[in-house]
Copies of this chain bind each other. A is one copy, B any other.
Amino acid sequence: MAYKAPVRDLSFVLHDVLEVERHAHHFADADLSRDLIDQIVEEGGKFAEEVIAPINRAGDQEGCTIDGDVVTTPKGWKEAYQQMVEAGWTSLAFGTEYGGQGLPSIMSMAVGQFTAAASAAFSMYPGLTAGAYHGIEASASDELKQKYLPKMATGEWTGTMNLTEPQCGTDLGMVRTKAVPNGDGSYSITGQKIWISAGEHDFADNIIHTVLARVEGAVPGIKGLSLFVVPKFLVNEDGSIGERNGVQCAGLEHKMGIHGNATCVMAYENAKGWLIGEEGRGMNNMFVVMNEARLGTGLQGLAIGDAAYQAAVEFANDRLQGRALTGAKNPDGPADPIMVHPDVRRMLMESKAFVEGGRAFILWTALQADLQKSSDEATATKAKDYMGLITPVLKAYLTDKGFHVASLAMQVHGGSGYTEHFPASQYLRDARITMIYEGTNGIQALDLVGRKLPSNGGRAIMSWFADIDAFVSENGEDEAIKPFVDGLADTKKKLQDGTMWLMQNGMANPDNAGAASTDYLHIFGLTALAYMWAQMAKAAQAKIAAGDADPYYAAKLQTGRYFVERILPDAQAHLTKMKTGAEVLMQMPAEAF
């Protein structure tokens, strides 16, 4: 049942599909060779398999515990984190100016898939540190950056994001946490934050909280919010740890899954904080962090699906039960492995198609994140447009499908999967949160149709259509990959149709956009994966045509065929549904539900 990092598949996507090295000249801070990429991917896979995966189950069963305000992580977790820091895995993508390794996002998103699959709850500690790091890096003063970022870059200190309060999660305009200027450049922060991942733990000497609060007297709503850095321990001028700050963990949430993650209620009482960026720009500054966290969450959802799929494959090969419909395949055994049954294979192929398609989509998106930094303006602008457009799709679609795959994995396990003796339950429970946090998937859909689509006059979605059209016309004559190109062209047409419908109907009545948003996002997700599958098919076909006999390529084409034949038909259903409009939803009186 041991998790195996999909190094082979990742390497195919990086080298043969995305041809990362070809783009490397756009990246500001890395000299990315094929050798370096391979070494990182291989070593990262090994670390996830050997150090992280073994502690995942204990994390679920033991969870975090609190005594006073001291939070203890599960057995072996602190040691694993220390190994991670020592081996440098926490500092991969942070800038070299603060001691990070300065590798492009695509490398951290590659290795991040291994970490999150090996232990989703564990991966949140470095994940939240990255969020807080980038929030500070993007908007804080040089003084604050110098003070906090170097130790966060190495992972010696961890970070958090403090947004949610009991009365508000999605609607942060209602934040009540208060900041009072102390007159010395610092503020006194008072309030309660809930669901703070990695809010308190025993991994690090210091925890650097980024906190959304309202400066006393500021306007109500979103525009009155500011972002602060609030360390658990104050940091002295010389960088040493000073006195304890007025922030503590007031309790742990009792959750359905991700038990190894310390999900904290945080109480701030005149805690000293320093403004990140300007007053009243808190949400803008937080968005930098949230967008990154959303990509990380999409990756996490899919990665859990990958781990669950692997467990299901192992079970399907091991479990002997019944005979193949076409006659015994294991005649000397008491029964055939359930892998012989078409419906079991349907569940596994569906999982494989989503996992591999989603993996390519994550890496493609990570490439855009890196291309944003290109000195070539056109390249950078287009990549930025894509990041805006794609982030909600990647977050919502891949977490919906990650959970779907985890549920399929449980189904393959049958009754065994429902017991806690097998890992399927943990995967299913862990995966479910990814559809909710960092903005529920409904919020992502609204972000997509309400903000990202119309942004810059629809420039991003036009690029998307143009790129796909170019691919289709370039490859449409290639008989060997025709079903993939046709499937892509057809799904893209439906996405275009849905986009047009939104333009025509969403403006007149915004409820139409809201009512259509989730179905539209799913057509977008299908198009994105169809695009990835078409590119993967092309690359695999090229290898086969060149005489490469590795059975990996035939399996890749077969899996893509499943995607085209048995997953893409959902696009039409989503399109039909979204076009029904808001009336059927909105005419129902609230009391009639």
Contact = CB atoms under 8 A, between A and B. Distances in A.
A354 B256 CA distance: 25
Nearest to A558: B588
Interface residues of A, number: 94
Contacts of A346: 515, 518, 585
Interface string A335-375: 10101011111111100100000000000000000000000
Contacts of A585: 342, 345-346, 349, 562
Q: Is the interface of A mostly helix, strand, loop or mixed?
A: helix
Given A337-B590, A515-B342, A584-B562, A436 B414 contact: yes
Interface stretch (A101-109, A181-189, A425-433): A425-433
Interface stretch (A89-97, A136-144, A320-328): A320-328
A497 interface: no
Given A343-B446, A352-B593, A585-B562, A325 B254 contact: no
Nearest to A590: B339
**Copies per complex of this chain:** 2
A335 B347 CA distance: 43
Interface string A160-182: 00001001111100100000000
B558 A584 contact: yes
Contacts of A347: 442
A345 B561 contact: no
A66 to B, nearest CB: 15
Contacts of A421: 254
21 contacts: A170-B322, A256-B420, A256-B425, A316-B593, A325-B511, A325-B514, A339-B593, A342-B585, A346-B585, A349-B585, A411-B436, A414-B436, A415-B436, A418-B437, A428-B432, A551-B592, A552-B592, A562-B584, A565-B577, A569-B576, A570-B573
Given A316-B593, A410-B436, 11 more contacts: A174-B321, A174-B334, A254-B421, A325-B513, A339-B593, A341-B442, A342-B514, A403-B407, A554-B592, A558-B592, A565-B584
